Structure 1
Amino acid sequence: MRYFLETLRVRNELLWGFGWLCLAGAVVCLVLTAFSRTEVYGANVWYKPVKFYLSVAIFSWTVGWYSAYLPQTHSLTWFSWSVTVLLSLELVYITVQASRGQASHFNTSTPFYAYMWVGMALAAIGVSIWTAYLTTRFFGEGLTPLSPGYLWAIRFGLVWFVLFSLQGLMMGSRMAHSVGGADGGAGLPVLNWSRNHGDLRIAHFLGMHALQIIPLLAHYLLKDLWQVILIALLYALVTVGVLVQALMGKPLAHLWASLG
């Protein structure tokens, strides 16, 4: 881990620093869960910012690491600054709403909240668009020489990330993440994924973290290009299956039971 962080600082100092800032934010919010009993959708109000800070830290460090494989151009600097600013705006609003005991997502109860909800959605779309741009760079020329398996793992991870990050539009159009029931109620610890209804956040989570999982598998376990392709396609199939399950209004536990 030390080697990763030291090397990342050289590769992309901005995203290295932003990741550390997000990690600090996650720790602060986690501490605040012990001092607050306020709940939103049945979960401690500070768990949401914890999850978002951690997710953004992991994303920032991941794309910062990958960006060093590309020809270093001004557009990469724009990419780093754009995702930093856009994600910072989203994190600040989520944190402020937590401090007020209010939901950040799907909250249009006042004109201000409605404007901020739209602003968050646009920021998330902006990050997806910038990541799509990064993806196209990995299909271009001038890349640092990488093994075919690892290179394709990064490509698959980026493509799945973009597709399933945009799946957030599905939740936005519904103004809810649950299917078959209202948001809230019994959920898995910390993650708070519904145990009673379909939950669109699960496929969203799995698809976006393909960005880390598939390249890690390719780097440490999968040595053959066809193994990488097979795992990437199976990963996508499972994620789509989880999405379909949620759209049917059935919780993840129902999928586990059917597989058992």
Structure 2
Amino acid sequence: MAVFAVISAGGILFDDRTLVGAAIWAKPFKFAVSFVAYALSLAWMLSLLPRGRRFGWWAGIVVTAAGVLEMVLITLQVIRGRQSHFNQETPFDAAVFQAMGLTVVILWLGALAIAVLLLRARFLDRATAWAVRLSSLIALAGAAVGFLMVQPTPDQLAATDPPVVGAHSVGVPDGGPSLPVTGWASTGGDLRVAHFFGMHALQLLPLLL
């Protein structure tokens, strides 16, 4: 993921293409940086397990493989100059997005297995135990917000064969006025806010502790 982040940063600097109102390489850059933090946190939590480390290791492999495939597919669409998420414009674009959806489900199930291990584990420090358990559960809930994003909007339901099905923004179209850096909608709701803070509870709660 660190390699993907460096490549994407180079893309932001040297590729002036934009997509849905943002630099085309911004999405893989943000995903890669997020995955770096996510993977490091999970690795640290797995190291705390007194038992079940072998099962945890395999669950971590599942999360890793799914995350890498997700990034490969996102980067493929960037190279093609196509929207990766929600894109139904061509059969190939639809197949790529469906594959991305499958990787997300697999990643979520791997993270769920790790969360179950953490919930069952006995830690010497009660505060650490609760920080780890709660952050893993909140991260699962935050990740699950992504499943709401693939639901069609009212405009998409009213259209015939819309090229895009699903959205990040709520009440306003994607690609409109947005906050700097995050790209979250500034004139309406945005599911990515809960998605971001939920998933990064995995880092925030242990850091707060």
Q: Does 1:60 find its partner at 2:39?
A: yes
1:126-183 deviations in Å (ceiling 9; x for gaps): 1111111111112224x4x431111101100000011110111100123111111210
Contact 2:56 2:117 in 1 (8 A): no
Unpaired runs of 5+ in structure 1? 1-21, 219-260
Q: What is the aligned partner in structure 2 of residue 132 from structure 1?
A: 112
Which has the larger displacement, 101-110 or 72-81?
A: 72-81
TM-score by length of 2: 0.89
Q: What is the aligned partner in structure 1 of residue 155 from structure 2?
A: none
Q: Does 1:171 find its partner at 2:149?
A: yes
TM-score by length of 1: 0.72
List 4+ stretches of structure 1 deviating above 6 A: none
1:173 aligned partner, one-letter code: Q
Distance 2:78 2:187 in 1: 25
Q: What is the aligned partner in structure 1 of residue 194 from structure 2?
A: 203
Q: CA deviation at 1:74?
A: 3.0
Q: Tell me the matched-pair count.
A: 195
Q: CA deviation at 1:72?
A: 4.6
Contact 1:125 1:166 in 2 (8 A): no
2:133 aligned partner, one-letter code: R
1:150 aligned partner, one-letter code: T
1:29-59 deviations in Å (ceiling 9; x for gaps): 1122121221111000000000000111111
Which residue of the other structure, out of 20, 25, 41, is the alignment partner of 2:20? 41
Q: What is the aligned partner in structure 1 of residue 82 from structure 2?
A: 102
Q: What is the aligned partner in structure 1 of residue 8 from structure 2?
A: 29
How many percent identity over aligned positions? 35
Quote the RMSD (CA, aligned, Å).
Answer: 1.3
Matches within 5 A, 1:63-212: 63-70=42-49, 71-141=51-121, 143=122, 145-174=123-152, 175-212=166-203
Contact 2:63 2:107 in 1 (8 A): yes
Unpaired runs of 5+ in structure 2? 153-165
1:88 aligned partner, one-letter code: V
Q: What is the aligned partner in structure 2 of residue 7 from structure 1?
A: none
1:192-237 deviations in Å (ceiling 9; x for gaps): 111112111111101111111011111xxxxxxxxxxxxxxxxxxx
Distance 1:146 1:113 in 2: 49
